[in-house]
Amino acid sequence: DQQVKQNSPSLSVQEGRISILNCDYTNSMFDYFLWYKKYPAEGPTFLISISSIKDKNEDGRFTVFLNKSAKHLSLHIVPSQPGDSAVYFCAASRVKTGANNLFFGTGTRLTVIP
């Protein structure tokens, strides 16, 4: 009963090109979505987030798009850099309930090839 899904376990992209990581969710009560980045032997690090009242949020090279009707969000990284190589986790929460716990996907391993 995984409520947040990342169906691509891995993605390889050439340096300088765009990386697109996808995430789907099943719970329509989710109203806040986040992307975390994780290097080996480290904890997840917050990258970017988006509220359900928006459909796009941009921060430098990172842009998150939200399609509520499709229950789908994506993370775009452009241009991709070798240092972006990591595992990216999508997460969702139900902020309006007052709860702050995050529901995570299983991650997508991004490899940026120099």
Q: Which residues bind another protein (CB under 8 A)?
A: 2, 32, 34, 36, 41-46, 49, 51, 87, 89, 93, 95-104, 106-107
CB atoms under 10 Å from CB of 94, counted, come to 16
How far is it, in rounded angstroms, from Cα 101 to Cα 87? 20
Q: Which is closer to another protein, CB of 11 or CB of 78? A: 11
Q: Which residues pair with 81 in a beta bridge?
A: none
Query: Residue 15: CA atoms inside 13 Å, Cβ hemisphere, count?
Result: 5
CB of 43 to another protein, least distance (A): 3
Q: Which is closer to another protein, CB of 47 or CB of 77? A: 47
Q: Which is closer to another protein, CB of 32 or CB of 65? A: 32
- Contacting residues for 76 by C-beta, under 8 A, at least 6 apart: 18, 19, 20, 62, 63, 64, 65
CB of 52 to another protein, least distance (A): 11
CB of 45 to another protein, least distance (A): 7
CB of 15 to another protein, least distance (A): 26
